[in-house]
Amino acid sequence: MNQVIQSIAKDSIGSYVAKQIDNILPLGADNESVQPVLEFHLNEALTRVQRCIDEVSMWRGGHFDILHSTQYCIFLYYLANTIWKKEGDRQTCTKLFLLNKALNAIDLFYEIEMPEVFFIGHSAGIVLAKASYGNHLVLYQNSTVGKNHGESPAISEGVIMYPNTAIIGRCAVAKNSIISQGVSVINCDTSANSIAFSGEGGALVFRPNQRCIQADFFRNYAC
């Protein structure tokens, strides 16, 4: 993989993450097994985060900066999710989940299947439930995806959630839907290639996209 790691040597990443876990969760001997597990799965997690970074137009392709907060936020998720899928190591994955929550104020559980490519503008206050997530997802602060009476949303490709938005319950969120700031989509569907606004009485109103806003976020994206 032709990847440049910025701000730290690649062979120090496992130790760096393990030390962060130990500082956030000072469990002593219980943390001794963490670093070898992290290092064993590091290459796969780095490959996954770089695939994501390379698609985001505002990020430098081929480079991963461990001090870039949202890149690091996504990396911690991919690392935890990789370890979970490969080993089912709930304890290590939980520690990574809690580290990400402490550093970035995001609630993104390691069992959730996020897409290969997604973008986080600001991670603070993002809460994501187990749902179906399409590729080229955009998330901003205080965006929420949640269940309602056991029903979870199905989110298609190219969905943008601007700040303080929510998608809750039995929703089919169509391709290239944009949820405008402060809007909640609850137990209803959206229209493809449209922007959702709050109308009279809180009912959703959809207006056609005038241009492909998703292309502002992702390289070579076509609506």
Q: Are 207 and 195 in contact (CB under 8 A)?
A: yes
- Among 27-31, 114-118, 164-168, 200-204, the range scoring the smallest mean pLDDT is 200-204
Q: How far apart are CA 71 and CA 200, in angstroms?
A: 39
User: What global pTM score does this model have?
Assistant: 0.95
Kindly tell me if the per-residue pLDDT of 95 is higher than 70.
yes
Residue 179, C-beta contacts closer than 8 angstroms, at least 6 positions apart:
143, 159, 160, 161, 162, 165, 167, 173, 185, 190, 196
Q: Which CATH architecture has domain 118-216?
A: 3 Solenoid (2.160)
Round to the nearest angstrom and report the end-to-end CA distance of the chain: 29
Average pLDDT over residues 21-46: 97
Which pLDDT band, with edges at 50, 70 and 90, does 1 fall under?
low
3-class secondary-structure state, position 58 = coil
The ranges assigned to domains in the chain are 4-106, 118-216
Q: How far apart are CA 127 and CA 105, in angstroms?
A: 9
